[in-house]
Structure 1
Amino acid sequence: MPLSNESDKNYVLCHHCDLLSELPVIANKHKAVCPRCHTRLARGHTDMKRDTIIYSLCSLTMLCLACCFIFIDIRVIGIVNNLNLIQLAHILYQDQYLSLTLLFLILVLVIPFLSLLIQLALCSHLPLSKYRQRSLLKLYHQLEPWSMPEIFMAGVLVSFVKLINYGDVGLGKAFILFCLFIVFYLKSYIIFGKRDIWNEIDKSNFANTELVSGTMGIDQNIRLCLCCHAILPADLTRCPRCKSKGQLRESRKIQWTFALLFTSLILYIPANLYGVMNTVFLGSQSSSTILDGVLYMWQEGDYPVALVIFSASVIIPVLKIVALSWLCYFVVAVKHKSDKDCFKMNKIYNMVEFIGRWSMIDVFVVSIVASLIRNGEMMAVYPYIGVIFFASVVIVTMIASHKYDPRLIWDKVN
């Protein structure tokens, strides 16, 4: 049990640099950041539960309505093709692209839908047991990085430029509804306070020694639970609050990161060699790679779109592999570290975490274009094997960044 004079203090361990801080009372709509690495530790919101319920309900309503109406339509050679969100998945499934179908359904529809339901369940007055609340929060923690409705919308906007070259493009009611869904979804995500819900389940401080703020947890023989962010004794392997297992430091995650980066590098080669789209025009077929699409956009004068696709599909995957490799090297090989060097490495890690998902734009662009351009052998577009390899690269690099433990950056600072 924590000492009596510690019970009224609100301590938090930074999940990026392992610095122990004592949180003050946070004003409404303000946030507390780590004084060492500037990572956000907590956010104050007076009516967190009420506002989360409002925005979650609005978001769920917009999502359900968006699935009922036409999302986008295109007129190609006198034939109009309409598409709603469910039809997009159905067309891909009919063409036996089960992997693309699952990616779209899970990342764009299912995970956001489940996340919103979890937010509603935890913020409403439902008679949930602590066991049920704990299970929902752990599921929410696992789903959080894989929600991509805003990235899908970016892919839709990029695909407009390609679709205009095939015919006349029109927007349906579902497009506006889906935009509203994204706005409400992001707002509910920002407001939702997981820390507050965890603190209602149980206390956050399980340390059995006196804590000293401004000192690293590893130096005080305490560790952070990476699931619920509770403070635990270093030798306690299972968190009493969320029941997750963990260790003071999991150095094996560096090996996992290296292995996943090597895997992504292997997958990246066929992702660029094979075509991502196969176009049928008057009976003849031609495939285009990622770079072919970039060059085509550039030659057509669509420079902003060409730069977006080139950045998301070429620069970001390579940059992420190089950056994560550099971060692993810094942890393993660099013996003399300064706070300044560690701060720079931490910024690189934050950048990798932020931009990694956006490479999925090209996968969504291919899915949208292939679902809309269908006119028999006269003109049709189909996904090709390269897009599967590319989606695998994005997923594997995302897993690699999640496996990486940024606290290792700050260990043994001189």
Structure 2
Amino acid sequence: MDATKFDKNPYDEQYMLCHHCDLLVEIPRVTNKQNVNCPRCQERLTRYRQDTNQQVVVYSVCALIMLAVACLFFFVNIRVVGVTSNMSLFMVPNILWADNYSYLSMLFVFFVLVFPALCLLILLVLSTDIKLPTRVKVFLLVWFNRLHIWCMAEIFLAGVLVSFVKLTSYGDIGVSLSFLPYCAFVLLQIRAISLFIPRAVWQKIGPTIYVLTPMVAGKTGIEQNIRLCRCCHAILPMNMNRCPRCKEHGKVRDVKGIQWTMALLLTSIILYIPANMYSVMSTTFLGSTSNSTIMDGVIYMWQEGDYPVALVIFIASIVIPVLKILALIWLCYFVLKLREQTSDQDCLKMKKLYDIVEIIGRWSMIDIFVVSVIASLIRNGELMAVYPNIGAVFFATVVILTMIAAHKYDPRLIWDRTK
């Protein structure tokens, strides 16, 4: 079925199916800068903004220009016993690669440079009046949906600021020409993504509702034999496995997603042990080498009196990963054992817990970026040098696996068969 050939549905602009609790919601009349929220789980379903395309284009172009400028010059510098070392953005992956940590190098390239740039290019193309084939628009929207959660430019910038405090114990820190352009890039990128409304582009590609039978607002989709496409949020008949608008395959509920989540969590728990046991960074000073784990870094910062930085690293590298794993385990247990005995209020608490897990989980990468920056800056031969260690690889993998585990979890299962 071709979405562009589907007849206009009279209910197309009237209903939305909540992607968190599966409730069919009737869309009220709203004005500019108003949001439509689900009355059951309070999730924001859509937002209405007038004339945002031009703003998205301006912010995207400016962000890409700032990123290009930031890549041309040195980023930060450090002066150690009279010797000055400079670091550019491209030097970070090059040094990690030369140290045989190609895995960390590729994570930096994709999360900090490639994925943010690709997302901005997609926004730029979709927000202009360029005439593109429908297949191309669908392809771009699908990949934007997949990539934007992996854009970590702001997390890298936070890691740089944290590393400044740690680097003051080695020498004098200074910012170079590309630092401010990169800061501007981060802010402009966040603004561009926040202004972009994918639903508006999807509606130009094809209708939102592919169900011709009457629907009743206030009832769930599963009660009315309809389902939601988790990619483009189209409303489909329950027996339609492939969305005619985005061409993505899907089911009424991703029951196997719970199994994937639990398997990924088990793997994360196993890898989290060596991530804390092995050192994430080794320092060579006058021929003597010392290794430091994540907790060693926290303890060192605390002893030096840098309490805010110590707390940031402790929360991001210890508290958040542990709490995220425990929260996802509890969410899985809730779906498998408790959901039939609970009320909507209990489910709302679980939904808020899931939202927190999705938001904060990616920030654990801050410690990996701190290690990358320090290892790229402190390279003064036999005098002093810092190298990444295997613990950083394990920890980065834990962060990625827990992010995938949260993505695999279907929050609609929380609300099924509640009292």
Aligned to 2:301: 297
In the alignment, which residue of structure 2 is the partner of 1:394?
399
Which of the numbers 391, 400, 411 marks the counterpart of 2:416? 411
CA change 1:198–1:282 in 2 (3 A) is same
In the TM superposition, what is the alpha-carbon distance from 1:9 to its structure 2 partner?
Answer: 3.9
Match runs of 1:6-405 below 5 Å: 6-7=10-11, 9-334=13-338, 335-405=340-410
- The one-letter code sitting in structure 2 at the alignment partner of 1:390 is F
Residue identity opposite 2:326 in structure 1 = V
Is the 1:222–1:232 Cα contact (8 Å) retained in structure 2?
yes
Cα distance change, pair 5–71 in 1 and its aligned pair in 2 (3 A): closer
Could you say if the C-alpha distance between residues 190 and 280 of structure 1 is closer, same or farther in structure 2, counting changes exceeding 3 Å? Answer: same
Q: State the shift of 1:3 in Å.
A: 10
Judge conservation of contact 1:276–1:383 (CA < 8 Å) in 2.
yes
Query: Would you say the 8 A contact 1:150–1:182 is kept in 2?
Result: yes
Say which SS state the counterpart of residue 206 (structure 1) adopts. coil
Offset at 1:26? 3.2
Count of residues in Structure 1 that have an aligned counterpart in Structure 2: 414
Distance 1:202 1:402 in 2: 26
Q: Give the drift of 1:5.
A: 8.1
Deviations 1:96-141 (A, max 9, x none): 2111110111000000000000011111121200011001111111
Hey, what's the Cα distance between the residues in 2 that align with 1:40 and 1:110? 29
- Where does structure 1 differ by over 4 angstroms across 4 or more consecutive aligned residues? 1-5
Distance in 1 between residues matched to 2:354 and 2:321, nearest whole Å = 14
Q: How far did 1:209 drift?
A: 1.4
Secondary structure at 1:375 match in 2:
coil
Q: Does the Cα contact within 8 Å between 1:2 and 1:208 map onto a contact in 2? A: no
Please give the secondary structure, in 2, of the residue aligned with 1:195.
helix
Classify the secondary structure of the residue corresponding to 1:24: coil
TM-score for both structures, normalised by structure 2: 0.97
Q: What SS class does the counterpart of residue 387 from structure 1 fall into?
A: helix
Q: Amino acid of the residue matched to residue 202 of structure 1?
A: G
Deviations 1:65-112 (A, max 9, x none): 111122100001111001111122222222221111101110000000
> In the alignment, is the contact (CA less than 8 A) between 1:3 and 1:208 conserved in 2?
no
User: What does the per-residue CA deviation read over 1:141-175, in whole Å, with 9 as the maximum and x for residues that have no partner?
Assistant: 11021110000011011101111110000011211
In angstroms, what is the RMSD of aligned CA positions? 1.4
Query: What code does the residue aligned with 1:412 have?
Result: R
Q: Which amino acid aligns with 1:383?
A: P
Change (3 A) 1:195 1:378: same
Q: Is the 8 A contact 2:6 2:207 kept in 1?
A: no
Contact 2:24 2:220 in 1 (8 A): yes
Instruction: Provide TM-score, normalisation by structure 1.
Output: 0.98
Q: Any unmatched runs of 5+ in structure 2?
A: none
- Contact 2:155/2:366 (8 A) holds in 1: yes
Q: Secondary structure at the match of 1:67?
A: helix
Post-superposition offset of 1:8: 5.7
State the one-letter code of the partner of 1:214: G
Cα distance, 1:30 vs structure 2: 2.0
The 2-side partners of 1:270 and 1:406 are apart by: 31
Mapped contact 1:2–1:210 kept (Cα < 8 A) = no
Q: Is the 8 A contact 1:261 1:321 kept in 2?
A: yes
Deviations 1:198-248 (A, max 9, x none): 000000000131111111111111000000000000110000100100110
CA contact (8 A) 1:2 1:209 kept: no
Measure, in 2, the Cα distance between the counterparts of 1:86 and 1:300. Answer: 31
AA aligned opposite 2:405: A
Question: Residues of 2 paired with 1:250 and 1:5: CA distance?
Answer: 27
